[in-house]
Structure 1
Amino acid sequence: MSIRLEDALKHPTLAAADPIIRAGAKAAARAQLRWIHSSEIIDIAPLLAGGELLLTGGEALALASEERQVNYIHQLAERGVAAVAIETGDALPTLPSSMVSAAEAAGLPLIELRAVVPFVGVTQAINSMLVSDSVSHLRRAEEASHAMAVELAHGGGLDRILAVLAGISHAEVTLTSVSGATLASASPASANAADADDADASSLEPQEQGRPQEQGRLIHIDVPIRGILAAQLLLRVPADEDQNLARTAGNRSVDILALALLQRMSPGLKEVAAAALLRAVDSGSQAWRLQQLASAAGIPSTAPLVAIVIRSGMLQHLRGSVEHLLARAGQPSATYVDNAELLAVAVVAGDAPGESRHALLAGLRALSAPSDTRLAVGPLAAEISEAPWSLSEARLTLDLAHALGHSHTGTHGPRSPVIDCEEFAIERLAMGSLGADQRRNFVRQQLGALLDHDAQRNSRLVGTLATWLDSGCNTAQAARELHVERQSMHQRLQRIFELCDGDPRRTGRLAALHLATRLVRLD
């Protein structure tokens, strides 16, 4: 039987840290460990496989915003981590209440380590005990994988294949589509009658009714086909069974299940063409090739569209949400994951492309996404031949937003992960048309006096002017955004006007100054 979390907390190397469970006590009582891992990286969740006890010193969390701290808990819970233990001390005196509440709601055991212990010693001591279990799990998982392959070779359906997995893992097993529809299922009881043709999800119902959900653990395992998330394997493991064996056997069964799914629902021409289209758009293929692939992918070659670029540590999970949003809009679209990016093209309504694009932006902003997600929507492309341009502009927007630290994200605020490339139109034009020296010379010509004043007196007149111009010269709004009194704002503007040879609204220099304040951020 695997090592339980309670036993690990009592191990001398970890007990020295004076651990106390702050949240998820019920889950902690039945949690089993697959491995112990230590990391200070906040966005560590995508690198974990589930079942880990994660140790962290808390220094990075202490510097993170409350939103990132809560997202840290949510991502670890979604990943199936067994527990997270955070060391408190000078950097992080106490565990934030928001993290404790989030962990309790998610059922993730959250442990406070009230004394410093060497994490290396803890991981070495306890992981060495887990290794022998891992070897046994791998051997039994290989046996299950082989038996599932034999079942598949003899024409067995998904229910029969899952029955093999259910038999060895003693778990109730369900295979669902990306949208959540049940494709097949099996229970330990059905494993003893795997030759029954009518074994289906109904065999699960009595057990679900007889066993409260909190007494077991639900393990989620992605099942990709050709790099694309096609299904999800769910294993509900009773509290008294070996969760790590179920997880290992489930992971070993992924390839067999992918083959079975390919036989059942092989990707059609449309899906293959959609992936090929995005690859061609990304590589900037010739117009005739894009038109050919667009037609095969069900995308009108002359319809207006936009390109989307998404960067995140959990792209496969986001892909389903994005595809669902695009399908709900009723417009043809295609998506593709490559090189840590999710790429998409989406047709917009031809009678009102601008409104359709704004609606798409609003829908994307409403999606739930990990804290590390950054998404840019490219400019309107008149037809598929302009899709490479829209894609490259979206990608440039992401790079600019990163370089500028999201200092300019329009009316949606600096925290929005969804960026409209039109809010960076000036910066995109400058990067494509002006060299670095040309940009610096123009900025110096327009803002030289203000730049010198800021450098000599440690003031922020250039930033004040930029905010005022971005607000449409609305002094009251600029004062609110800068968190200053309106009288102070008027005084700053008066000094700016003196250094700029007058009120720019009366000199014809308004556009030039606005351009310069945008360019100064690039250099």
Structure 2
Amino acid sequence: MPLTVGEVIALPAVQQGDPEVLSDRRWTETIRWVHGSDLADLSSLLQGGELVLTTGKALARHPRKYLRGLADAGALGVIVEVGTQVPALPAGVGAIAEELTLALVVLHRTVRFVEITEAVHRRIVAEQYDEVAFDRRVHETFTELSMKRASLSGIVDAAAHILAEPVVLEDLSHQAIAMSAGIPADLLDNWERRSRRSPGRTDHAEPWAVTGVGPRAQQWGRLVVPQAPADEHRAKMVLERAAAALAMHRMIEQDRTGLQHQAQSGLIDDVLRGRLTDERELSARAQALGLRRAAQYLPATVRAERPSPSSDPVAGHRRGIAFLDAVAHTVNAAGHTGLFSLRGDSEVAMILALKDSRNIDTALATLGARLREQVRRVDGAPVSVLALGPPVEQIADAVSGLAEAAHIAEVALAQGDRDRPYFRAADVRLRGLLSLLRDDRRVQQFAETELKTLLSDEPAGSPPDLTVLREYLRLAGNKAALAGRLHMSRPALYKRLSVIRDALGVDLDDGESMTSLHVALMIVDGAAASHQ
């Protein structure tokens, strides 16, 4: 730890001089160096942060002038050896030091200044060397982890081990997606609410160390030490290095499959990146890879719901391959053909050519049911959805429609509709738009601002305030129907609504306010559903 003025005075070399403290200003501040001199003017020799050792001759003659010069030069204080050869310091010198915010200590016995300087400088140099060694250890650790493509949990564990502190990785919705091994359960209690308060977001902010993960304009998470760290400087440095390793981990592609799937995925990527624009060439290559010629092509996405993200990149890669194989096998077994591309370990994008275009709805309903059953059997995912973009005549247009299909699949999972065998754009409305924009920091900030008091504070009663507000908005402000749905008396309900209105600072009967709050709740609910 850095050496403070008070710690210098406590050193045995200083204590031998029978020190008397006349001013304890700057007592806890870190010293940069110790300088010994009897010169009356040290302004040209000091750089700031020094502790001056002197026999006190200049101080005894002109105390205010001498101490003013030290203060103006940035010194922290002065240790004066009075001993038996130097007259006592003039009365009031301690008050002058306090006025000028300087530490002043008098030694009544003779000491060797060289012993004091050696003791202090040895500590300072050792501290600097320790910091260099620590920095090198941190650099080598995370460089090695990046080279080995360590998992998210491996990087988080390394940061926790170096700091000897618990470390948590959370996403932008304040969901803890990875945490160090052995983290106490009480540190995770009410995580989302407490995380929203740190650092410094409210008067009751948690004393956490926090670092964003990802480029400044595209941060996708935060690394957190969920308690006051023992060394804030080291905690910040380690979290920043770990965040860089996590960002690199996210950039590494882990979705390599068999040769055929690589070729199909590569063809789709060539179109998406503008490297292949000629439809005739695209059609020829697609047919060579197994896509049957058809009057119309369907952009489609199969997305599975994962109970928790995979922290092991190897296991995630294998799971993704099994998922892709299950989808491709089911499509081909039904007599259809397609181009398939794995997106992560829980989503397969595909261009479909159906075997029978005369009864598309029946064919898609059958395919959707078979895909759900096969994905559950092979992949183990409890829920999966088939989402479709609009049919098009050209393959390039179908590839362009994959983004819309992926969006529909994401919203379909969030909506929790388990009965539909497949989903189209008409099946998702405003929730679809909000789901598409959910990772936009501005959208998240909007939701946080609209609902800040209800999100960060403990629920005031049963049901919680958020539930009351949600049902109120769903019923378009019908308080009589709301009282019946919540099994509350009308006076109790009116009181709860009044509390919510005061907490949010808006008129709950105003149409624009209701719309704004409803959208904010849909954003929060969509983010929560995506992590279930």
Q: Same fold (TM over 0.5)?
A: no
TM-score bracket, shorter-length normalisation:
0.3 to 0.5
TM-score scaled to structure 1, two decimals?
A: 0.33
